[in-house]
Amino acid sequence: MGAVIRASAISEIDNELGSVDHATRAVQQCVTLAGLEMQDVDLLVNVGIYRDNNCCEPSMCSQIQHELGLHLDPNQFLARKTTFSFDLMNGACGFLSAIQVVSSILHNGGAGCAVVVSSDA
C-alpha cells in the first residue's frame, strides 16, 4: 500500500511573515484539515528553497518543528514519542523527492504520519 495524502493547506499572503512562519501556519492548517492532532506527526520534511535571513544552520525544518512544538522533549511524553525533521533540497523536484523518501519511511515503519512542507517568503 502506498502513502495517502489526506490534506493540503496554504498560508495566506502576509508580507510581515517569514518562511518559517508561513510553513508553521500551513502545517497547522493541514494537520487540522486531516483530522489529526499535531502530536500525531512523526516525520516533518521541508522542501522549500528559501531560507529566512540566509540561515544555513539549524535546518529550516528544525525551526518549523520548534515553532510547532512537535515533540521537543521526548521525556515529556509517556510513549517517548519523537518527530524526525529534515530539509530536502532539490529545487523544483523537492516535493516529488520528498514524497518518495516519505513513502519509503512510512512503508518501512519508520513513521506513521508525515508532513511535507514548502515555504518561500
Confidence band, pLDDT 50/70/90 cuts, at residue 45: very high
Task: Please state, in angstroms and as integers, the Cα–Cα distance from residue 120 to each residue in 16, 23, 80, 86, 104, following that order.
Answer: 13, 8, 32, 16, 26
Any idea where the domains of the chain sit in the sequence?
Answer: 19-117
| Per-residue pLDDT reduced to its tens digit, 52-109 | 777 778 899 999 999 999 887 767 666 667 899 999 999 889 999 999 999 999 999 9
Cα 5 to its chain centre, rounded Å, is 14
Query: What's the grid cell of residue 6?
Result: 489526506
For CA atoms 52, 55, 56, 59, the dihedral sign is negative
Task: Please state, in angstroms and as integers, the Cα–Cα distance from residue 32 to each residue in 16, 39, 112, following that order.
Answer: 24, 11, 17
Q: Give me the CATH code for the 19-117 domain, please.
A: 3.40.47.10
Its pTM stands at 0.88
